[in-house]
Structure 1
Amino acid sequence: MTSLFELEKTGDVTELTSLLESSSNEAVRRRAAEILGDADAPDEEVLSPLVAAAREDDSESVRAAAIDALDQRHAIEELISALTDQEVPTDGAEWARAEALVESLSADLPELRMAAANALGRIGDRAGTKALAGRLEDPDPRVRARAARALGRIEDPRAVPALRARLDDGQVEVRREAADSLGRIGGEKALAALLELLDDDSETVRRIAANSLGNFGSAKPLDALVSLLSDDNEGVRRAAVFSLIEILSNAPGQQSHKLRETIVEKLSANDHESVVDSLVDILAQGTQPHQRRNAAWLLGRVTGERNRAAAIDALASVLDDHDGMTAQFAATSIANVGGEVAEDALLDVLDDPEAGSAARAKAAFTLGKVGGERARQRLDELIDRTDDEEVRKRAFSALSKLGGRE
């Protein structure tokens, strides 16, 4: 049997829908629904199986996953229409569409309440805030979680007190969604509510708070996140680093430069090994370009002596990254870190037969900033033996900074 990972990579909608409809494994059906929500396939191939799963699957978690998948495909109205036998408007004024959905939030069927909450969140009109806040008291935790998520998508500050009250919900999923939404809404009250969680005895709660603080596009949570770098739990420490990356990404353009300076100053003042370890992981495993770019940039500015080798190895490995900005930031950061370990890593790239032209050209150029006599000799030899014009050009440039040819 082909793995779900492979099916996700290949986009085999036929096999995924078959698993959703007939697998005896609840986890497989749930994951199949999640993948279909993001599948690059025509709606006519995907929506009917998802609607059927949302209505008929024996598992509450699979029904919830199918509802979220329909929302992800902007087709939640298909399910609401099927459950109510009424046409759901998909155009017109947002406030009017929101008001039309509010009634479904009080339906007897929890799947309909979940679908309505998702739809209201996607519409994003504040006409749905009061009703959604009321659903935070819903007896079904799946509904509470989606109401909390929807309020974060609407970003109405009036929802902060109700969301704050759900931070001690008995269900982790509800607490996570409430905390995440407080981060999205922002403001002093939301921040204060999240900061209260940082001393919680539960590692899960502290990690949720750390993740949520990354939604703020300002320096306000920085001290709190830096303090979490000393947390006893590795998951909490890594969540704090991830959120610092997200704050960099979310900051408005006019604040970005100052925010970068502040983050570098705070991280440099605290020699937390977990910072570099987490940045290396983001660079190696991250899927979002903005995360990997910022990780590469930060590694060049917060790496200390004891973790220099790990940082340089990670940066050298992405010199031929498909994202050009990540590769360029990596080269710049190698130069910033410097030292013999940087020279060694760059020379290894030059000698690697599997390294691409772009990586070898960047390695050659960067050697002009960090290399010594050994690098000068190797670049001199490289100019004579390489057939790659870009590599030769970069080697000449680097060599001129190291004293020129013999």
Structure 2
Amino acid sequence: MSLYQHARDGNVERLRDALGSDSAAVRKRAVEFLGELGDVDEQATIDGLLRAATTDDDPEVRGAAVDALDEIGEAALEQLLAELTGTSGSEAEWVTARKFARALQADRPELRMAAARALGRLDDASGLQHLVKALSDEDPRVRLRACEACGTFADPRAVPGLTERLDDEPRVKRAAANALGSIGTDGALAPLLDLLGDSDESIRRIAAGALGKANNPEPVEPLARALGDESAVVRNAAVYSIIELLSNVPTQHSHAVRDRVVSELKAADDDTVVEPLVEILTEGQQSRQRRNAAWILGRIAEPQSALAVEALADALADDDPQTAQFAATSLKSLGGPVVEDRLLDRVGTEHPEDARAKAVFVLGQIGGQESLNRLESFTDDDSTAVRKRVFSAVSKLRAGGP
């Protein structure tokens, strides 16, 4: 039976047996599964991982065992550190942090890896300076864990050291890029601009996803260029970041950024931009991002884009009044028969009153004879808001337009 099957069945005993395999690949996979399935109260599993972390002949297995102990929980990882450093686990955090910092100087790279992991978990800022030094460790596995730990601190003091790691091997480079994105200051994000052209898709995605945190308009054009990336995940991340930029940039830059965003997005492939914008509008959790998505769709989508029009029409009933208003304004900007058809479907009494009133308003601006005929049937509507909009819309349509 395969290791995967044992893992799916939750058979940790068989997985522990595999730690004695002659194959390093099997031992490494068993270690990874034990990290996913192990429990902090399952001492037999922890003991097996402790042996793998300290005595296995293969460095990849030892490194995976350190990560597995960390995945099981802080208490499991601390057993490894306690065994190798003499830490009791009952001291104040600053005392523990000092011992872990000393462990970063240990001869065994696995101990240095574990110390970096543990320092990242501790809520003690004194550990950061030691982690920054560990970014230059001779072992790439230690550098990798140090990058990850610096990301948990999200402290700008780590930026110079992390930036140097952007020339490291791929795994370390990815971890450094992620950490810089977690720090999120303009100084931390600036080095990521060049990574949008990296040959590694995952690096480009990390950079594109992080640059939306910037508080200046500099990333707009590089992100717009990323809309032409061969990778769909990179393109999607770029659109999300562009929307986030609109939410984050200071007021004094907002108008210029909006103009640049619209210009760049219009030049991009329509499907590349519209689909993620619709996803943000329909599934986003932040009102500011949904508002921006609604606003942009009205300026870059094609009037015949059923996907965009449907999402905007649905947004007329959004719980956020400003998102609903931006959706109405965008539908008015788009106009055309597709918009008219979708809005006529939303004027019935089965829809919320505010959404119906907005639909009627837009129809008064862009509708034709069909809209006029339909709206005339609502002149006696029970809703005062809808009746008011109907009278105004019918008057405009009878007069031949707004």
Give the structure-2-normalised TM-score: 0.69
Pair 1:373-2:374 in alignment:
no
Q: 1:391 aligns with which of 383, 386, 394?
A: 386
Structure of greater Rg: 2
Q: Distance in 2 between matches of 1:29 and 1:394?
A: 64
User: Alignment partner of 2:199: what SS?
Assistant: coil
Deviation at 1:171, TM superposition (A): 5.7
Counterparts of residues 268-287 of structure 1 (less than 5 Å): 268-287=266-285
Q: Distance in 2 between matches of 1:31 and 1:356?
A: 47
Pair 1:360-2:352 in alignment:
no
Q: 2:262 aligns with which of 250, 261, 264?
A: 264
Q: Distance in 2 between matches of 1:324 and 1:29?
A: 49
Counterparts of residues 301-316 of structure 1 (less than 5 Å): 301-305=299-303, 308-316=305-313
Contact 1:350–1:363 (CA under 8 A) maintained in structure 2: yes
Deviates more, 1:140-149 or 1:307-316: 140-149
Query: How many residue pairs were aligned?
Result: 342
Deviation at 1:31, TM superposition (A): 8.8
1:116 alignment counterpart: 119
What whole-Å deviation, never above 9, does each CA across 1:293-337 have from its counterpart, x for those lacking one?
2211211122135x6322111111222223333222222211122
Counterparts of residues 7-406 of structure 1 (less than 5 Å): 56=46, 64=70, 84-85=87-88, 101=97, 103-107=99-103, 108=111, 110=113, 113-120=116-123, 129-136=128-135, 137=137, 139-140=141-142, 143-150=145-152, 153-156=154-157, 159-170=158-169, 172=171, 174-183=172-181, 184-187=183-186, 190-191=189-190, 193-305=191-303, 308-351=305-348, 353=350, 355-384=351-380, 386-403=381-398
Report the CA distance shift for 1:199/1:390 in structure 2 as closer, same or farther (over 3 A). same
Deviation at 1:196, TM superposition (A): 2.8
Report the CA distance shift for 1:189/1:377 in structure 2 as closer, same or farther (over 3 A). same
Deviation at 1:360, TM superposition (A): 1.9
Report the CA distance shift for 1:64/1:243 in structure 2 as closer, same or farther (over 3 A). farther
Gaps of 5+ in 1: 1-18, 34-48, 68-75, 91-96
Q: Distance in 2 between matches of 1:88 and 1:395?
A: 73
User: Alignment partner of 2:305: what SS?
Assistant: helix
User: Alignment partner of 1:246: what SS?
Assistant: helix
Q: Distance in 1 between matches of 2:300 and 2:36?
A: 38
User: Alignment partner of 1:317: what SS?
Assistant: helix
Contact 1:169–1:175 (CA under 8 A) maintained in structure 2: yes
Q: Distance in 1 between matches of 2:170 and 2:40?
A: 25
1:16 alignment counterpart: none
Report the CA distance shift for 1:313/1:32 in structure 2 as closer, same or farther (over 3 A). farther
Gaps of 5+ in 2: 1-9, 16-29, 50-63, 104-110
What whole-Å deviation, never above 9, does each CA across 1:116-150 have from its counterpart, x for those lacking one?
22445xx7x6x654322123347357733432313
Contact 1:105–1:114 (CA under 8 A) maintained in structure 2: no
**One-letter identity of the residue aligned with 2:376:** D
Contact 2:215–2:249 (CA under 8 A) maintained in structure 1: yes
User: Alignment partner of 1:350: what SS?
Assistant: coil
Deviates more, 1:107-116 or 1:263-272: 107-116
Deviation at 1:279, TM superposition (A): 0.7
Structure 1 vs Structure 2: percent identity of aligned residues? 37
Q: Distance in 2 between matches of 1:32 and 1:63?
A: 11
Deviation at 1:168, TM superposition (A): 4.8
Contact 1:164–1:190 (CA under 8 A) maintained in structure 2: no
Deviation at 1:349, TM superposition (A): 1.4
Contact 1:361–1:391 (CA under 8 A) maintained in structure 2: yes
User: Alignment partner of 1:277: what SS?
Assistant: helix
Deviates more, 1:373-382 or 1:111-120: 111-120
Deviation at 1:399, TM superposition (A): 3.2
Q: Distance in 1 between matches of 2:335 and 2:101?
A: 59
Contact 2:116–2:142 (CA under 8 A) maintained in structure 1: no
Deviation at 1:219, TM superposition (A): 0.9
Over aligned residues, Cα RMSD in angstroms? Answer: 4.1
Q: Distance in 1 between matches of 2:187 and 2:89?
A: 42
Q: Distance in 2 between matches of 1:246 and 1:376?
A: 39
Q: Distance in 1 between matches of 2:308 and 2:145?
A: 43
Q: Distance in 2 between matches of 1:309 and 1:389?
A: 31
Deviation at 1:345, TM superposition (A): 1.0
